[in-house]
């Protein structure tokens, strides 16, 4: 199975260890992993800010960077970026000559846990992590990539991990990209509620598919000295080897 890695901007700049851990898990699962060093952004920030022409230019580069065989998968540790590629590229390139390329790319682009469970048919990677944790459903994972059970199936097979569900688990954490900047009081209040719900479970760790959510929640957790850590699921699945 050939996999082209897509590493989002903030993962590359702030959380590179997660990208390396994703590679470890994919290679252990038998994949041949490649990384195109020319890759940049998926184009989502410009699109969400209303700069569609600028976004289309970035997206065109993305299509070029990840061109390849229809049997090559593009896998990313971010449901947000994958959701953008899958759901909004068709809007940007509607009625253009690139639509065939776009649809092929959309069909082979996957979020990490979705790829493991639904393409590779892998639910146990041999990980172990002795802690009590709760899982946060990111909006993009839940609503744009339709991921719900995939992360939970993988986490249920992590030796030593006790997974407990928090109240209002499907409620947004408040990050939302530029939403956190434009509407910071609302954003902070939402993150406060999410961290309180996580803390109420007795969990020591909050896990998600999206580091953007975790970065936002972690800010509140640290500020309030709540004594919880945040972990991307790729870091969990690479633990204990």
Q: How does residue 186 score in pLDDT terms, banded at 50, 70 and 90? A: very high
Please, which residues bridge with residue 161 across strands? 131
* Confidence check: pLDDT of 70 > 80: no
Question: How far apart are alpha carbons 142 and 125 in whole angstroms?
Answer: 23
List the beta strands (DSSP E) in the chain.
Answer: 2-5, 32-34, 73-76, 109-111, 128-135, 159-163, 205-208, 229-232
Q: What would the mean pLDDT of 91-113 be, rounded to a whole number?
A: 96
* Confidence check: pLDDT of 236 > 90: yes
Q: How does residue 180 score in pLDDT terms, banded at 50, 70 and 90? A: confident
DSSP result, 104-121: HHHHTEEEHHHIIIIIS-
Task: Give me the residue label for tokens 């790829």.
Answer: 115
* Confidence check: pLDDT of 107 > 80: yes
**Cα–Cα distances in Å, from 213 out to 20, 35, 70, 96, 210?**
20, 25, 31, 34, 6
List the structure tokens of 153.
Answer: 């199936």
List the beta strands (DSSP E) in 89-157.
Answer: 109-111, 128-135
What's the burial of 76, exposed, middle or buried (CB within 10 Å: 0-12/13-18/19+)?
buried
* Confidence check: pLDDT of 68 > 80: no
Q: Is 147 left (phi over 0), alpha (psi -120 to 50) or beta?
A: beta
List the structure tokens of 103.
Answer: 């649809």
The model's pTM is 0.94
* Confidence check: pLDDT of 52 > 90: yes
pLDDT of residue 237: 98
pLDDT of residue 179: 84
Count CA atoms within 13 Å of residue 214 on its CB side.
27
Q: What would the mean pLDDT of 41-68 be, rounded to a whole number?
A: 94
List the structure tokens of 125.
Answer: 């990677």
Count CA atoms within 13 Å of residue 12 on its CB side.
14
pLDDT of residue 221: 96
For residue range 193-219, list pLDDT tens digits in order: 999 999 999 999 999 999 999 999 999
pLDDT of residue 183: 87
């Amino acid at each position: 199975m050939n996999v082209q890695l897509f590493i989002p901007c903030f993962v590359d700049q702030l959380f590179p260890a997660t990208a390396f851990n994703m590679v470890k898990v994919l290679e252990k699962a038998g994949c041949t992993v490649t990384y195109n060093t020319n890759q940049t952004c998926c184009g989502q920030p410009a699109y969400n800010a209303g700069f569609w022409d600028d976004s289309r230019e970035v997206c065109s580069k993305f299509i070029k960077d990840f061109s390849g065989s229809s049997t090559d998968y593009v896998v990313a540790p971010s449901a947000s970026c994958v959701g953008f590629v899958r759901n909004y590229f068709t809007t940007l390139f509607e009625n253009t000559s690139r639509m065939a390329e776009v649809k092929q790319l959309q069909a082979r682009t996957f979020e990490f846990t979705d790829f493991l469970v639904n393409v590779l048919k892998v639910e146990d990677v041999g990980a172990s992590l002795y802690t009590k944790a709760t899982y946060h459903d990111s909006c993009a994972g839940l609503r744009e990539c339709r991921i719900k059970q995939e992360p939970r199936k993988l986490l249920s097979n992590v030796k030593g991990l006790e997974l407990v569900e928090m109240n209002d688990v499907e409620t947004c954490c408040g990050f939302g990209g530029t939403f956190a900047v434009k509407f910071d009081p609302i954003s902070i209040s939402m993150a406060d509620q999410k961290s309180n719900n996580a803390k109420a479970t007795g969990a020591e760790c909050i896990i998600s598919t999206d580091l953007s959510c975790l970065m936002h929640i972690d800010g509140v957790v640290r500020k309030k000295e709540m004594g919880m850590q945040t972990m991307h699921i790729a870091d969990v699945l690479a633990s204990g080897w």
